[in-house]
A and B are shown apart, each in its own frame.
Chain A
């Protein structure tokens, strides 16, 4: 995937992203770091167009996502899994039903109204829940789970889409440090297992350095750094966080 000169501004005229460009390779686990308000969340949401960019291009699978019609984009979103900071589960549905919502893009409107998923989908959901270690909690309602368990459901929901790419928005900032590390580890493993590139924004620099293969530093809508974690030192961080660290 390639992101070229991506720009976003809200109606008030404030520019959130001021022309960001980077590539994501097929085996990248790419972390976006930067101070809050730098535009990390906006950047992630531009890729599946939950936020509409005002300029630039995002090329994914040979097509510019920004030029797709609404229906085409909806189609394309099936190939892009997303994991959220606040998990964003449907709290009144059971765990497995939450995972199965990941198949909605493949399920017809009427079938989904009666929650008639294919046997294949259901079997897959069970398998994924086993993979993330929640097989015992299959029938539980999502709001009965702990934070870490909920995020695992969120991971399974993204995976059941058979994504060709994962977008991850602050996966750990609603979790305590120990659980956060576990969840990051799981995401890392799964990304290798399913061979999907990951674009992950994360404010915890230590976690980013530990788990990611490449890091992009964003400040005030501008890319300040792009390279492997090994190249990151105090000066780079000082630059990204504009002296915040020092």
Chain B
């Protein structure tokens, strides 16, 4: 180890470094401060401005929690049919989404979009629209359009599913291996034939995998569709809520959880089998 006197010739470097560090730290702390200020403003509105703390007591919360604990197994058998409906709604919704996603993916994949930039933009817009609107909103829109019932739920989930499926498929199409496409072009295939034989076979695994994934997600969505007037377990939940039957609500939630876990397991193995 060299003597300290020898080290002093690096002091200028060290000072420079310390100054640079202090500067970058200031920038960072300014950002943290802004985040914290925004938090303070929001928390103030939520916790002080909007919450009536006199009505929330430990006793009242414990009381409610206790009522949730009284799970009502007597209605369990009544929930089996709605559970089946929920799964069927999710499945049909996924099928609708799958069918609708194909043209959207076709529009939204840069390399095969029929009219270039213009149709590509439309495709992308449809994807964003489908994905960024919450399923509850889609549910309300379709309940308004086709009335109460499972159909509204199926359509809502179908439209909600377009975004994810078509976006991932469009991305897969965009990085398709150009080899087979060239080969198809070389044998004199037309555009549709290239799509069918050069691109489609490469995209199918992605497509199927994502459809299965979306089915799993749709089961989750399907459980709440009934809350806005489509059928299934959501409707049962809605009825228990209307009756203030907390034990019943808890029971429905347990059934929903079981259903979701089952869906997740099935989709996990189905995806494994496909990919």
- A residues contacting B by CB (< 8 A) are 96, 115, 119, 122-124, 126-127, 130, 135, 138-139
**Residues of B contacting A115 with CB < 8 Å?**
21
Task: Give 8 A-B pairs besides A115-B21, A122-B14, A122-B18 with Cβ atoms closer than 8 angstroms.
Answer: A123-B7, A123-B14, A124-B7, A126-B14, A127-B2, A135-B13, A138-B13, A139-B20
**Residues of A contacting B13 with CB < 8 Å?**
126, 135, 138
Closest to B25 in A: A114
Closest to A135 in B: B13
> Does B10 make an interface contact (CB < 8 A)?
yes
Do the beta carbons of A123 and B10 come within 8 Å of each other? yes
**Residues of A contacting B14 with CB < 8 Å?**
119, 122-123, 126
> Does B43 make an interface contact (CB < 8 A)?
no
Q: For A126, give its contact among B10, B20, B21 (CB under 8 Å).
A: B10
- Interface digits, B188-203 against A, CB 8 Å rule (1 contact, 0 not)? 0000000000000000
| Min C-beta distance of A234 to chain B, whole Å | 44
Closest to A119 in B: B14
**Residues of A contacting B2 with CB < 8 Å?**
127
- Interface digits, B227-270 against A, CB 8 Å rule (1 contact, 0 not)? 00000000000000000000000000000000000000000000
> Does B125 make an interface contact (CB < 8 A)?
no
The 6 closest A-B pairs by CB, nearest first: A126-B10, A126-B13, A123-B7, A122-B14, A123-B14, A123-B10
| Min C-beta distance of A32 to chain B, whole Å | 29
Q: B1-40: which residues lie under 8 A (CB-CB) from chain A?
A: 2, 7, 10-11, 13-14, 17-18, 20-21
Q: For A127, give its contact among B7, B18, B20, B21 (CB under 8 Å).
A: B7
Q: For B17, give its contact among A124, A127, A130, A138 (CB under 8 Å).
A: A138
Q: How far is the CA of A126 from the CA of B7 in the complex (A)?
A: 9
| Min C-beta distance of A78 to chain B, whole Å | 16
Interface of A is mostly: helix
Q: How far is the CA of A124 from the CA of B3 in the complex (A)?
A: 11
**Residues of B contacting A96 with CB < 8 Å?**
17
| Min C-beta distance of A163 to chain B, whole Å | 13
| Min C-beta distance of A149 to chain B, whole Å | 18
Do the beta carbons of A122 and B7 come within 8 Å of each other? no
Q: How far is the CA of A130 from the CA of B14 in the complex (A)?
A: 12
Can you give 24 contacting A-B residue pairs, CB < 8 Å? A96-B17, A115-B21, A119-B14, A122-B14, A122-B17, A122-B18, A123-B7, A123-B10, A123-B11, A123-B14, A124-B7, A126-B10, A126-B13, A126-B14, A126-B17, A127-B2, A127-B7, A127-B10, A130-B10, A135-B13, A138-B13, A138-B17, A139-B17, A139-B20
With most chain A CB atoms within 10 A of its CB, the pick from B2, B13, B21 is B13
**Residues of A contacting B7 with CB < 8 Å?**
123-124, 127
| Min C-beta distance of B18 to chain A, whole Å | 8
With most chain A CB atoms within 10 A of its CB, the pick from B7, B17, B18 is B17
Q: How far is the CA of A122 from the CA of B7 in the complex (A)?
A: 11
Closest to B12 in A: A126
Closest to A122 in B: B14
**Residues of A contacting B10 with CB < 8 Å?**
123, 126-127, 130
**Residues of A contacting B20 with CB < 8 Å?**
139
| Min C-beta distance of A34 to chain B, whole Å | 36
Closest to B20 in A: A139
**Residues of B contacting A130 with CB < 8 Å?**
10
Closest to B11 in A: A123
| Min C-beta distance of B62 to chain A, whole Å | 38
| Min C-beta distance of B25 to chain A, whole Å | 9
Q: How far is the CA of A135 from the CA of B12 in the complex (A)?
A: 12
| Min C-beta distance of A233 to chain B, whole Å | 41
Closest to A139 in B: B20
Closest to A124 in B: B7
**Residues of B contacting A119 with CB < 8 Å?**
14
Q: How far is the CA of A124 from the CA of B11 in the complex (A)?
A: 11
| Min C-beta distance of B226 to chain A, whole Å | 48
With most chain B CB atoms within 10 A of its CB, the pick from A115, A119, A126, A135 is A126
**Residues of A contacting B21 with CB < 8 Å?**
115
With most chain B CB atoms within 10 A of its CB, the pick from A115, A119, A127, A138 is A127
**Residues of B contacting A124 with CB < 8 Å?**
7
**Residues of A contacting B17 with CB < 8 Å?**
96, 122, 126, 138-139
| Min C-beta distance of B115 to chain A, whole Å | 41
**Residues of B contacting A127 with CB < 8 Å?**
2, 7, 10
With most chain B CB atoms within 10 A of its CB, the pick from A96, A123, A135 is A123
| Min C-beta distance of A229 to chain B, whole Å | 31
| Min C-beta distance of B5 to chain A, whole Å | 12
